[in-house]
Structure 1
Amino acid sequence: MRPFAIGTFEIDGAAVPVLVSGDDLHDIRAILPGIQRTGDLFADWDANLDALMAFLGAPATSSQSRAALAQAGRLHVLPPVLPVGPILAAGVNYREHILQMAVAHKLGADGASDEQLLADAAAEIDERVATGDPYMWTGIPSAVSGAEDAVHLPDFGADVDWEAELGVVIGRRAHRVDVDEALDFVAGYVIVNDISARSLVPRTDVAKIGTDWFRAKNQPTFFPTGPVLVPARFVPDPMSLRIQLRLNGELMQDSSTANMAFGVPQLISYASSIAVLDPGDLIITGSPAGNGSHHNRFLRGGDVMEVTITGLGTQRTPVRAPSGVPAPWQASRRAAAARTTA
């Protein structure tokens, strides 16, 4: 099989569903009548992929050069799957990351030493994997941005952190799926950077609830996604992919998806035990060690992040400083805003 990817690129101002083969871009609308957006492919995912493979195998196929279009300023990378679906996000799902966060945020008994925090966190994750559930929350489509779009630091929230993650796009409706069958429901895989305003996670005003993932993770541009969707048939083992994040060229995260506590099949099985998963839904699978919380270095205007995952390409996102103009809600609550902005 000749590997290829699926993407959505804005070419000369129009959003185009594209078949990506090396540097060649093919307009899917010209190959498959009735397909106007990449999300339309899910109506018959396997058959549509077979048709795209046959197209690539035919002689004298027309294409455009991605590099040439980009150099001419005629191309902009959009999120690969349009319309963007909901995000189902797994947290605390890499062992070393869990241990680092326990120490960085003093997640444990009051006054515990770093050694005790590590030991307690290790015991907790071992018990959860053996007898418990993954930890998942939801993200909203409006927070998704393209793989080369700038991440905008918010005017509400400080200590903005990076989290390189493997994204899993669902290809057909899934409900109460068995672990052994879970990968059959995957359309493909993408890179996602799960940006988080750490200062907005705790909610001391509603201590019994504790955390607020909505405001910490759903601000605009907080889910850079792509650049492409690589079909699952070209990813033999999603649990053996190298995942890296560089900040201004410095390697900050370097791990393997093999280090997940709950793997891709387990996350799909668990999520589908609670909710019905639809084609185009995106599951992000947690981030490995090396976040800003561990390095005590958070995002600043002018930074550049680069995320790579084996076989899925590279996303490169610059970081923009806050606008300095608070939204009306926060402006009306200056004391609260002052506690949570840089």
Structure 2
Amino acid sequence: MAAVPVTSFSETFAIGSFDRSEGAFPGFVAAERVYDIRCLLPAVRSTSDLFADWDASIDAIEAVVRDPAALGALESVSISDVQVLPPVQPVGTIFAAGANYREHILQMSVAHRLGRPDATEEELWAEAAVENDARRASGDPYIWTGIPSAVSGAFDDVQLPDVGDDVDWEVELGVVIGRTAQRIAAEDAYSYVAGYMIVNDITSRTLVPRTDMALIGTDWFRAKNQPTFFPTGPYLVPARFIQDPAALRIRLELNGQVMQDASTDDLLFDIPSLIAYASSVAILRPGDVLITGSPAGNGSHWKRFLQAGDVMEASVTGLGVQRTGVRAASGVLPPWQASRV
């Protein structure tokens, strides 16, 4: 079992899904110990059951956590003695905001030379800045969807694909929806948020463009939805414990070297705007996760992509730490791609 970075939730707690080789169970983490929620709330068989009455469930857990005698009466296990699964079980749909950190957008515009062919890097940066400030004022967010089968745990390895190169990292703040949301106004959006967690939006850059279909242009399905491409968690931290989600430090290290280090205050469209827009198109369900975009500093900027043996460590203020290794591609093409060679 991989070593789990220690994150202390003492006066507060976090929600997660765990396995002690007896099947998945819903738990809460306090003071580096995992407690089985079923012992406290017998009707809750998985973390998704908490959404039936999220506030009452969190109130009940909080009352125990703040009572040393009550907490001491519950059985617990060290976080290092369980497998940490993606926090929300079963996994919901991922609604992913692309190009949503201003500095990241400008970096990508320069890295991919998105603009006039004869423009200098300084000109590309300046022109992208003007365009994106205009989009923030009067445009829409860019949102696509991720699928549950691509989600993996916070300490699971990322599997490099057999089709697709330039595999990149994108640490993001994940917003977990707590109740059904449709056509929500931005000013009401936070009341639909259950909590927050870390998500790393792994991307095969070479699979994004579709040169065979110029009118379509990009293919996010194949570039971002491969197995293990959404390391998620380790925990879901209730929204009541995150004072200001627009002032969190978001950070990713690759083999100990800092690659991304920013604040969530650089979001082009903030969390309420993203929820309002996404819910204007789709019905958001409890347990769905809205990932809010990634800050500057991914592999496209550094011109360095994931390789077998790499280790990523991602963190967001108050949400814990995820550590994921990288495994080599299997070397065997899937039948479809093999038939095209």
Please confirm whether the aligned pair reaches a TM-score higher than 0.5, indicating the same fold. yes
Distance in 2, matches of 1:116 and 1:201, equals 25
Percent identity, aligned pairs only, is 62
Query: Contact 2:166–2:206 (CA<8 Å) still a contact in 1?
Result: yes
Cα deviations by residue, 1:236-279 (Å, 9 ceiling, x for unpaired): 11000000000000000000000100111111111111111110
Partner of 1:219: 226
CA-based RMSD of the aligned residues comes to 1.1
The letter for the 2-side match of 1:181 is D
Counterpart of 1:26 in structure 2: which amino acid? Y
**Take 1:119 and 1:31, find their aligned partners in 2: how far apart are those partners?**
56
Q: Answer yes or no: is 1:30 the counterpart of 2:42.
A: no
Give the aligned length: 329
- Which consecutive residues of structure 2, in runs of 5 or more, have no partner in the other structure? 1-9
Task: Determine if contact 2:13/2:65 at 8 Å carries over to the other structure.
Answer: no
Question: How far off its partner does 1:24 sit?
Answer: 1.6
Q: Which residue of 2 aligns with 1:337?
A: none
Deviation of residue 112 (structure 1)?
Answer: 2.2
For residue 285 of structure 1, what is the aligned residue in structure 2? 292
2:6 matched residue in structure 1:
none
**Partner of residue 29 from structure 2, selected from 6, 20, 40:** 20
Q: Distance in 1 between matches of 2:52 and 2:305?
A: 41
Please report the TM-score for the alignment, with normalisation by the length of structure 2.
Answer: 0.95
Q: Which residue of the other structure, out of 45, 48, 55, is the alignment partner of 2:57?
A: 48
* Cα separation, 1, equivalents of 2:19 and 2:247: 32
Selected match of 2:280 from 265, 270, 273: 273
Q: Which moved more, 1:203-212 or 1:11-20?
A: 11-20
CA deviation after TM superposition for structure 1 residue 38, in Å: 0.3
Q: Which residue of 2 aligns with 1:340?
A: none
Q: Distance in 1 between matches of 2:324 and 2:195?
A: 22
Corresponding residue number in structure 2 for 1:86: 93
1:41 counterpart SS class: helix
Tell me which residue corresponds to 1:104: 111
Task: Using the TM superposition, give the Cα deviation of residue 176 of structure 1 relative to its aligned residue in structure 2, in angstroms.
Answer: 1.2
Amino acid at match of 2:58: L
Determine the structure 2 residue equivalent to 1:6: 15
Distance 1:101 1:61 in 2: 53
Report the CA distance between 1:23 and its aligned residue.
1.0
Which residue number corresponds to residue 155 of structure 1?
162
Indicate whether 1:39 and 2:18 are aligned.
no
Moved more, 185-194 or 106-115: 106-115
**Superposed displacement of residue 155, structure 1:** 0.2
Give yes or no for contact 1:88–1:282 (8 Å, CA) kept in 2: yes
2:133 to 122, 126, 130: 126
Residue type of the partner of 2:74?
S
**Residue identity matched to 2:73:** T
Q: Does 1:76 align with 2:83?
A: yes
SS at match of 1:202: coil
Deviations 1:143-176 (A, max 9, x none): 0000000000000000000000000000011111
Offset at residue 90 of structure 1 (A) = 0.2
1:137 to 144, 162, 171: 144
Q: What is the CA distance between 1:13 and its match in structure 2? A: 3.6
Matches within 5 A, 1:235-274: 235-274=242-281
Q: For residues 106-151 of structure 1, give each alpha carbon's deviation from its aligned partner in whole angstroms, at most 9, with x where no partner exists.
A: 1112232212211221111101000000011000000000000000
Task: Point out where structure 1 has 5 or more consecutive residues left out of the alignment.
Answer: 335-342
Distance across 2 between alignment mates of 1:78 and 1:241: 24
1:62 corresponds to? 74
Once the two structures are TM-superposed, the CA of residue 179 in structure 1 deviates from its matched residue by 1.1
Moved segments of 4+, more than 4 Å: none
Give me the TM-score of the superposition, normalised by structure 1. Answer: 0.94
Q: Distance in 1 between matches of 2:188 and 2:110?
A: 37
